[in-house]
Each structure stands twice: as C-alpha cells, then as structure tokens.
Amino acid sequence: MDSDKINLELGCTTCTTQTTYSVPIGPVHPALKEPIQFTFRLSGERIVGVDIKPGYAHRGIEYMGMKRNLIQVLYLAERICGICSISHPLALTQAVENAAGIEVPPRAQYIRTIIGELERIHSHLLWAGVAAHELGFDTLLHLVWKVREKVMDLLEQLTGNRVDYAIPIYGGVRRDIPDEKAGLAYEALSYYKNLLQDMINAFLHDKSVAMRTSNVGVLTYDDAVALCAVGPTARASGVKKDVRQDMPYLAYADMDIRAITPEDYGKPVVGDVFDNIVVRLLEVDQSIKIIEYCLEHMPGGELTSIPKVAALLAVLKKADGEGIGRHEAPRGEVFHYIRLEAGVEAPVAWKVKAPTYSNLMSWVPKFMGDEIADIPIIAASIDPCMCCLDRATLVDQGGGEAVKLKEELVKLSREKTRRMCG
C-alpha cells in the first residue's frame, strides 16, 4: 500500500462539525481472501461512504482462451475459479454444445448435476467457515471445514481430483459413477443429513453469531432487484431467483427446484448477513436432496455422445455459430458466451460473466451505516470471488485518472466486440 493512503485524512467533508476520515481496506488485508480495494469513509466507527476498486486479479483468461483449442479452453475455464471449478466448465460446455449442436446423453446430464451440487455443498460449507472466521469465531471455522472434508473426499473418489474435477467434456462427461461409488455418495449424504441440524444449531442458535450478524449488512428486496443481485445474495433478500428454477437445464428440469429464501426457515426476510447464513445452510440441505434424487433416478446409457476425443476435436473445428450457457453456481448465476467459426479451432469470442460481477454493487447498500467491525463479514456475505469477477483491465498509457463511466465502458466494449468479430 502506498504511504499516503495509510495517512489519516482528517478533514471536513460536509462543512459541519462532523469530521470523517478514510480507512483503506485492501488490496491485501486479513479480511479479504482475494485482492480488492475498499476505501471507507468513516464517522467514528460508522461507515458513511465506500469506494470499491476491483481489478487486481485480472489474468486475461478469455484472451488466452481465444488462442487455444476448445478442449484446452475447458481446463482454462475450470481454473477461472478454484471453488466454482465445475460451474465455469458446466456453463462453457453448455455454451459450446449450444453453438455446435451437440447432444448430451441423459446419464451425463445427471452426473454433471451431481458433481455440480456436490460443489455447492463444499462451497457453502467453505463460505460458512470463512464467515465464522471473519466473526472471530475460529472454532466454527475449524468445525465446518472438518465437516467439509467429507465432500472433498467424495469428489476425489468420484472424479479423481480434489479440486478442478475435469469431469465435463463437450457432449458428456469423462467419468461414470458406478454403483460402488454411488454407495460412497449415499454414505456421505447421510453423514451430512445427520450433521446439518448440528450446523444449524451451531450457527443459527448461537447468541454471539446472532449478535454479530442480525441486522448487519442489510440488502433490501428492492435494492436486490434494482442492483440485479444473483444467487444466495439475492435469495437472502427474498428475491426468488435461481437459474435451476427459472430456466431448468441438465437434470434440474426433472425435479421441482424452488429458490430458497429465509421464509423457508420460517423467519421474515430481512436481507442481513444472518439471512445469508440461513439461505446457504438450507441450500446444503436442498443439494443433498437433489443428489439423492439424481442417484436414485440415474438413467442408463452412454456417457458422452462423441466418445472419441479426436472425433470431438474434428466436430468442434467444423462447428459454426454462437451459443450461451448458464449455470447456477454456488454464488449465483454464471454465464458463458462463445462464438465458433468453422475451420478455426479456437473460439472467436468467449465472454464470462461470474456471479460476483452481478453482486458487486450490492456491497454499497450493505456497507452503508454499519460499523468497521462489520466490514469483514459484510465483505464475505456475498461470497465474493475476485478472480471470477475481474474480466477486464484498463491499460492507460498516458497516466492520470483511470475511471471509466458507464457510457464510455459500453462504447469501449462495443468497439472490442467489433474488433473480435472482424
């Protein structure tokens, strides 16, 4: 951090007797798991303003993808985010299958769903642990992460990898779930079913957690709708929004999936951090039920419509068109756009919109009026993923202020799209 930012800027802002000062949080700070810069204006311990500056984790992944063939892109997409490491490939495979007109056999769709929901369990448990840590409750962190090991082990059993599962491929999946592995899955699910009530007790019935999270970081229903929040962040504010419910894909169409809001726990919707915990814990339960359904109703048949990878490469090279894929990642909707041209192995255009991108602005109403002590838990409450979020960087060779407003950004984006599409 540069030294003048550290300096206390005591100064009169509103020309009344009240003085505010600014405190930088980030780009590197214990409250943040990934780099992002907040500059808070504080009046005493109370937050009166916040400026958010992302852009520290941009890796140019989309550009890299446009230099590789689609199979290589798949593994690049997996590495957009280490926690949503199935969500991005699921969205990408759907986009490419949409563009190239590849069918996915039903069994593959069910296996994709199972892995996707297992990832939701692990992601929500991971989030719960992080949230507990931000509250200074490390015991809960260790308890939850100990419990999370079970789903990580199961994922390792099913896919061969603990993270970055490398399971979906265009047209299907790469590994089957045979009966003996399904047995392991049932065992893990019953483990979680037994533990879920303990976890709900540990989080929702703990006095000190309630003291720190109730009415903290409130995002009202109207704000959530207006700011286009997605995923658990929106659902905690009572917005019944879930890609699995609204536009069913994979195996979700066979089930009756309902967006979970705090009302399902029998409490009125407030939209605070407590509601975020409620929604995520209940979604773990929902995921358990989905996986059970999938395991029981798993159809037989092929794993992939194009088993030979070399043949798949040829099909993808011939494909021409554009496609979209969307998936309800643990943090909300992830959206991939891809454009293929016949004769070119690499995609001509690839756009990724991660859930944090949509949830970013909901931080502002959440922070306003709360205290410094609430910053870590509010920052964590949307389950941010900065490297998912950072999809653009501005290289300003002339120096000076590098802030672009909406109109200019739209203009720049259109120019770039035209450049890309020739």
Residues in Cβ contact with 209 at an 8 Å cutoff, skipping those fewer than 6 apart: 132, 135, 137, 140, 203, 274, 277
Q: How far is the CB of 110 from other proteins (least distance, A)?
A: 20
Q: How far is the CB of 244 from other proteins (least distance, A)?
A: 27
Place of tokens 């926690």: 83
Q: Cis omega (within 30 of 0) on the bond before 27?
A: yes
Question: Which one, 95 or 230, has the nearer CB to other proteins?
Answer: 95
Question: Please, where are the H alpha helices in 257-385?
Answer: 273-296, 309-318, 355-359, 363-367, 375-381
Classify residue 394 as exposed, middle or buried by CB count within 10 Å of its CB (0-12, 13-18, 19+).
exposed
Question: Which one, 103 or 156, has the nearer CB to other proteins?
Answer: 156
Classify residue 405 as exposed, middle or buried by CB count within 10 Å of its CB (0-12, 13-18, 19+).
exposed
Chain contacts with other proteins (rule: CB under 8 A):
3, 6-8, 21, 23-24, 29-31, 45, 68-69, 71-72, 74-76, 78-79, 132-140, 142-143, 146, 149, 153, 156-157, 159-161, 164, 166, 174, 202, 206, 208-209, 211-212, 309-310, 313, 371-376
Using CA atoms, how far apart are residues 147 and 42, in angstroms rounded to an integer? Answer: 38
Residues in Cβ contact with 354 at an 8 Å cutoff, skipping those fewer than 6 apart: 80, 81, 84, 88, 329, 331, 334, 385, 388, 389, 391
Q: How far is the CB of 399 from other proteins (least distance, A)?
A: 25
Question: Which one, 291 or 379, has the nearer CB to other proteins?
Answer: 379
Q: How far is the CB of 335 from other proteins (least distance, A)?
A: 22
Q: How far is the CB of 149 from other proteins (least distance, A)?
A: 8
DSSP 71-111: HHHHHHHHTS-SSSTTHHHHHHHHHHHHHHT----HHHHHH
Using CA atoms, how far apart are residues 46 and 57, in angstroms rounded to an integer? Answer: 29
Question: Which one, 45 or 222, has the nearer CB to other proteins?
Answer: 45
Question: Which one, 132 or 291, has the nearer CB to other proteins?
Answer: 132
Using CA atoms, how far apart are residues 66 and 420, in angstroms rounded to an integer? Answer: 10
Q: How far is the CB of 356 from other proteins (least distance, A)?
A: 20
Q: Which two tokens stand for residue 349?
A: 């255009």
Q: How far is the CB of 306 from other proteins (least distance, A)?
A: 12
Q: How far is the CB of 84 from other proteins (least distance, A)?
A: 17
Question: Which one, 35 or 248, has the nearer CB to other proteins?
Answer: 35
Question: Which one, 70 or 386, has the nearer CB to other proteins?
Answer: 70
Residues linked to residue 327 through DSSP beta bridges, in sequence order: 334
Residue type, 122: H
Question: Which one, 212 or 280, has the nearer CB to other proteins?
Answer: 212
